[in-house]
Structure 1
Amino acid sequence: MTNQDTAGKKFMRETDARILIDRRLREAEWDIENKNQVSTEETSQNGRADYILKDSRGRAIAVIEAKRFSVDPASAKQQALSYAESIDAGFIFLSNGEEIYFWDYKCRPEQKVATFFSQRDLEKIQTLRLEQKPLSVIPIPEKYYKGSEWRTPRPYQKEAMQIMDKAIEGGKRKMLLVMATGTGKTDTIALYLKRLFEAGLANRALFLVDRIDLGVQTKEVFDEILKDYPSKLLYGGKQRDESSIIISTLPTLYSQLSLFTSGYFDVIISDEAHRSIFGIYNSVLSHFDAIRIGMTATPSGYVDRNTYKLFGCWDETEQKGKPTFVYSIRRGVKDGFLAGYDIVQIDTKVSLEGVNFEGEDYSPEDLERKINIPARNEQVVQAYFTEEEKREQKKMRKAIVYAVTKKHAAQLAYYFNQAKPEYKGRFAEVITSDTEDPRGAIRRFKLEEMPTIAVSVGMMDTGIDAPMVENIIMVRPTQSPILYQQMRGRGSRLDSRINKKSFRIYDFAGVTKYFNDESYNPYSEIAKAKAGIPWGTEAKDFIEEDIEVPAGFIQVAETAQENIDVVIKRAYIEIGAEGERIDSDDYQTAWERQVQELAQAEPLVKKVKEGQELSNDESQILADRLNSPKFYFNEANLREAYRYPIGTLNDFIKTALGIQNLPTEEQLYEDRVGELFEAWMIDKQFEPEQAKILRLVKSQYIARRAPIEVSIFNEPIFSALGGLNYVLKVFNDDKLKPILEELNQSVFINS
């Protein structure tokens, strides 16, 4: 190849890069033919600028340094900086047409972004710079107006805001708040958004919610607390809105992402961040160059690694997540901000043998067969009223019933209404996504005397602010710790109007027993303290702010198969007051040897070996004995060693004795796929036949571990359904391929 050929090829590469840059500038609403907006190839004594972007008055506001495809655009920083400073342009873009870096060089390092910023974006940032104040000079309000009354920010809400202030002032732009249900996450973030607006750190915010009804609820809060900053709900098909705060579901925003440049939002809040469909969430959040705040009620030990990374809270050295701020349910109850609870366990003799799993939980279809039995449903209702009649009450207590399926919910509501004929069928109401007006139904349940009981399937486990609920009725079995704490959290809010200080869980499904949860009532705890019994002795709630999911477990669940051995070899356990490190495999071996020895002489271990259940007192005695300086065997260390974050002491004893097996790595992988798949399905709301086909697709992916193509529907497993022609008909022909592509990208590839 001649030098001329080489030069020509280099020239073409630069030309191609500029063609792409021109196109992407147009997409960001720049008129590249208008020299008052964009000029090219301008020179000065400090060099040459490939592009100069100008503000609405024709003044230089940003410089673009263009490089050919083979050159890392970030390598041109110094050259671009010299030129930008010489013409007083405040911002720099570095691009080869494919990648774009945005550098606000007076404030922070360059960041990779998805698009160029629009002229309005750059002018907005420039204006904010002129108005900016330190967060430290913005006072946290002594009171704020909400719900027709003035409220005082709680100490932990102030603490959360102060911690976020410190993080932002230190240059951090990603944060994660872990706050128990009922502690006022939305109020906290509304107050904090106001601080960001007042400090000149934000002009426009995005608030992502799980469901549109939660968006409506959020807007109601914002309209009261942030009345000077208008908020709008973004619906499907609706064009970009210019309000200060946009509230949207993830799928709606994802479908309209091309309407927004990377500089459009200054701060993004993600509510219930633990429910992230990681592939989609990552593409949405990384599209914007914004402060990123995640909020979740999920205990920090159960937030997955992807979520921690998404919000900049994953410690690579220690291989664990470190939330920016944590306020647990235990602290909330102890501090008097959350209601304590009592548990009534009622055995309805249901066997779950043969029930299959989907993700980390039971298959609803299989549960339907086992649970939705008329005689059992009637028994549940009768037992509930029998227990309620033992309590003093002036009127019926509001309750939420968690059912397995919509059919199950309908039958339970029928029996509740039959038991109270005087209310003419209005005593209990089914509230699901199929309800004609679910938001209206929830509003009636919250504000009116009837219905007294709301029967729900998945609709009322997150985000519903219903402090008047005094009873939680669990008829749906679950092995999902996240789902359990969400259901339980619906009763945790205090309500001064009815003098509510505690609530009751009616457990007809063995859920509280599975999670070793027991009544946690602050008044009974105070009574025990007076008697000299340590606080929390019998309250072995599985959700604690200091429970840590073992790094090995998370890593193995999300790492390619060939890397699993490497991860396991790195794992270690810290024991004792001095934090002595022990290899996790050695710790397992020592544990199993110790339990087998104790089984010969220790009555409590012998009792477990013989298949008997330990009482709460016996479990505590054994736990204390095993955690003595001689052994240092405890639930937290065993969970880490076995990489099984929801295991109980009994589980690990049975494993050591060889009478129970913990989940395999394969099962954990299937759980991970199932969790992502179910979250994706919830957002999409497919028709029943479509959902049936997609569940078969999921099972085929787990078996193959390879992306799914349309051709799979020609294979025998789908023949019984009618093959490819039938599947195309169910998905309206042209929608099938995009759905599979999104399923592969958002769920399978990220599992």
Structure 2
Amino acid sequence: MDPKEKKELSESDIKAKFITPAIIKSGWDEMTQIRREVTLTPGPVVVRGNLSSRNKKKKKFADYVLQKEKGVPVAVIEAKDNNHTISHGLQQALGYAELLDVPCAFSSNGDGFASHNKAALVGEDTETEFALAAFPSPDELWERYKRSRGITDQEEALVIEPYYDDGSGKEPRYYQAEAINRVIEKVAQGEKRLLLVMATGTGKTYTTFQIIYRLWKAKKASRILFLVDRNILADQTLVNDFKPFGPVMTKIRNRKIDPSYEVYLGLYQALTGPYEEDKIFKTVSRDFFDLIVIDECHRGSANDDSAWKEILEYFDGAIQLGLTATPKETKYASNITYFGEPIYTYSLKQGIQDGFLAPYKVVRIDIDKDIYGWTPPPGMKDDLGNEIEQREYNQLDMDRILILNQRTKLVAERVMKLLNATDPFQKTIIFCEDIDHAERMRKAIVNASGQLAKDNSKYVMRITGDSVEGKAELDNFIDPESKYPVIATTSELLTTGVDAKTCKLIVLDKTINSMTTFKQIVGRGTRIDESQNKYFFTIMDFKKATELFKDPEFDGDPVVIYEPDNDDDPVPPDPPPPDDDGEDGEGEEGGGVKRYQVGGITVYIVSERVEFLGEDGQMVTESYRDYSRKGIRQEFASLDEFLQKWNSSKKKAAIIDALAEYGIELPKLAKEVGKDYGDFDLICHIAFDQPPLTRSERANNVKKRNYFAKYGDEARAVLEALLDKYADEGIVSIENNNVLKLDPFRQLGTPVEIINDVFGGKAQYEAALQALETELFKQQAN
């Protein structure tokens, strides 16, 4: 092809005519080994005010991902048009290669390939360029991959065991594939103690299913036990992610292990207990299970005296895989010490930055008696006639030792104020100090919600370990299709292991000292559910619990501080009491602590602060307006640059779409600034401090200048109607030719008749429209 003609081709044409054929000619199967236009990450959700949108500028999108087998990527290729050099896209490709943890990255402009090979042998160049016809074969890139991952020829068969494919075309997300592949590779290499750390909401169960499926199909594991500590987790897994196992799968019931199955889902409570006759896991041989997967392994299996630990030790010859969102590292327990360092970690921070997890905004609320303290007058008695101990009570005492009825009422009213201002039917979890507090909060919400609770008694329910009625509604609470219950008050039950996808509000009226508990509570809101329009969630904090966001440990690497007792002391010292937030169990009513319940004490909110998760992972106070201003100025450095781009743009929708890539959606901005302003004025006003005009004011200014006098009657009628349409709906509506199918245009003829007969053709119609737009925005341009 002539070089000049080649430079006129689009990137898509370059891929279709040069790059794809070169890859196929080198032996890559187009259907199974070449993935094209692969979205690696969708881009983070930006939250400001009550608005959210995706920053698609940060979307990661690979032109090609080459894979040995489904889900086993080995290389990425970035394509550019022929106006770029061969290696122009290599740095971009390297970023994707790092994300996928593959050794080979390539870029091309259709003339040849530039290559970066992390698995280069001694004496080989890491970066090279070569002709299109010299692209490496699948076998060559697979050898590089094996070399980079330390995979031997003997281990290869297990590593390339196919994923389960339901025929829908679903591929694991990049981090899921990496987690799965890491486990399979480690098992192939003979390792038997493995730990995966994946944030809540990132698909641990789907990841686990693929791991088990591949090991099962490869006959590396004939009998598998998936251990959980919540009945609902076993039931969800049985009917959802693990459903393809069908008749070879069972849930262990009736304290009996039936040897006729291959995949077992079990609650550790069903397998063991305090007495020897409870330990039914011992009714099968020690080599019965080949693979044991322990879900949420931070919650017990790491403890030396835990029930899970004795199960793991009994089946010590099995491959054991621990799953957790929060590695547990204390002086007395360490799942890292048991399982070893995590073979893969995908954190909450990374999930939010990638756009797979929902970001959060935080509403911090300080109440006067919490902050300033409260001291009862001498001799004051509580509502039950008990004399209140004379001392100062502060935030740590509230609802644990001192119960102020007005404080509970204030919290409930503030929660309902937020819900009523946004959506009173958004799923909400209120974390309380204990069961008693959860019940009092339930009553306070009933009273604060008024007609909402009258219309349905299940609008708010206490879901705690002692409430049969509440626990019976748990499935309905987490079901996106079930409207009620809307609000759940709880103390511990919902901290972990409950897949509440649509939870949009988490209220913290609970003292939280444990980072593990805090991470799990935050995890209740991190799932994105697009079908329910859930892209972010709100944390309303009354107890300064969100100060833990500032702790480096919140999303940092786990550090082992487990200190096993190696001395000969027959009676080692007792461990300290559990964290005050009762991480390992449901809070008990009363808890053996002397409590005072007092009515009639006035409380009020001292201060409120709203913060958002910034792009650097830190909390910021910034409005959607401020965020938009910053984004617009990234795209247009000055007002002159914007005006030049706006006036020269044939379709203004292209500029609006470019801003949407940053997560700046002008219709949402208009809700905050003024719905009568058009896109042009919103941009000029927000980013460059120009006085705005409404769409109607702009349209009337054009009419006053008698701009239409130069047109004939029919053309004038069309243009005046377009002007009115702009005043009503904005610029994008009149740029779409389909507008001519609507009233009042269709009274003047069909779109074809208007364009050809009235204006003399498409070019003349577009010129008239462009001239109208220039006239519309003339005042600002001057």
Q: Larger Rg: 1 or 2?
A: 2
Higher helix share: 1
**Greater relative contact order (CA < 8 Å, ≥ 6 in sequence):** 2
